[in-house]
Amino acid sequence: MFELGCATEFFALARPQYANWYQGEVVSFTETQVAVVGSITMAVKQIDNLDDYNILVIPSWSPTKPALTAQIKQLVLDFYQQGGKILSFCSGSFFIAECGLLAGRQATTHWRYADIFKTNYPDVNFLDDVLYVYQDRIGCSAGSAAALDFCLEVVRQDFSHEIANQIARRLVIPAHRDGGQSQFVETPMVENHSLFASTLDWAIEHLDQPLTVTSMANKSAMSRRSFDRHFRASIGLSPKEWLTTQRLRLAKGLLESGNDNIDNIAAQAGFNNAMNMRHYFRQQLLISPSQYRRQFSKITQCKT
């Protein structure tokens, strides 16, 4: 129900303030009523084709009995070949893999199903340290809350960085968690969590300033050594890596949403100068800031 709730929140809930927002339905090829957890029975629309849709979302699927009929596989293959997008949350990647659409591709799923997935689909390049993978109109996200991260990325690409941020604020969730961080952390969070979290918030609000790891450690009332250790245990990155990631995120948003010149954007994002920002863009995104702007600055709106 959680993953289905994510799907309906993003793709079925009306948002009239945004032109051409998604219009979604919960559908089934085989049933008009579906039993879900908590003794809930839900009425759904039964369909026999996907002609009326251009995005197919699979909130979950059985990892132990993932078999599909030949007819459903063919309908999904035809749907993708005709330009449709296919998105999955959690174990939903088993559905896409069963259709043969993940062969030779990168994919992920909930960490508890990783071994089953790797065994069943050895021709898929499984990634176990990401929140989502989204390429060429096919996407998979990791377990539960990663569906929210993935949906925000879809909104960002379909509409804009600004609108994705607005949706995140209304849902009271982070606008962006880096897709390259680990799905789960087994080491405990720092004891003084609120002070540590407030330090991160403070750093994000002051990215245009010459922040140092030492200043962040002082803000958290920790020694530099303890701060480094707790930071990596909690976030999965070093403080410097995290700062670079946040500055890149800010710079990407500025490039997408405005026409300011590269030098000014570099200063606003804390890179000091355009050359420094170009270095990190090429190192981590493999493109220049100018190329990124050309690719993402225009708002593309898709109706489903």
Structure tokens at 199: 């330090």
Query: Tokens 């021709």 belong to which residue?
Result: 123
Domain contains 273: yes
Residue 253 lies in domain: 241-296
Which residues of the chain register pLDDT less than 70?
175-194, 297-304
How far apart are alpha carbons 114 and 96 in whole angstroms? 15
Provide the pLDDT for residue 188.
40
Provide the pLDDT for residue 178.
53
Neighbours of 259 (CB within 10 A): 8
Find the CATH number of the domain harbouring 218. Answer: 1.10.10.60
Q: Does residue 60 share a domain with residue 151?
A: yes
Provide the pLDDT for residue 20.
94
- Using DSSP's 3-state secondary structure scheme, residue 126 falls into strand
Provide the pLDDT for residue 187.
36
Q: Does residue 279 share a domain with residue 131?
A: no
Q: Does residue 136 share a domain with residue 41?
A: yes
Domain contains 187: no
Q: Does residue 270 share a domain with residue 218?
A: no
Provide the pLDDT for residue 18.
94
How far apart are alpha carbons 211 and 218 in whole angstroms? 12
How far apart are alpha carbons 256 and 159 in whole angstroms? 11
- Using DSSP's 3-state secondary structure scheme, residue 212 falls into coil
How far apart are alpha carbons 186 and 90 in whole angstroms? 19
Provide the pLDDT for residue 179.
47
Q: Does residue 153 share a domain with residue 30?
A: yes
How many structural domains are present in the chain? 3
- Give the 3-state secondary structure of 221-250: CCCHHHHHHHHHHHHCCCHHHHHHHHHHHH
How far apart are alpha carbons 14 and 34 in whole angstroms? 23
Find the CATH number of the domain harbouring 125. Answer: 3.40.50.880
Provide the pLDDT for residue 194.
63
Q: Please, is 11 exposed, middle or buried when counting C-beta atoms within 10 Å of its C-beta (0-12, 13-18, 19+)?
A: buried
Q: Is the CB of residue 87 less than 8 Å from the CB of residue 56? A: yes
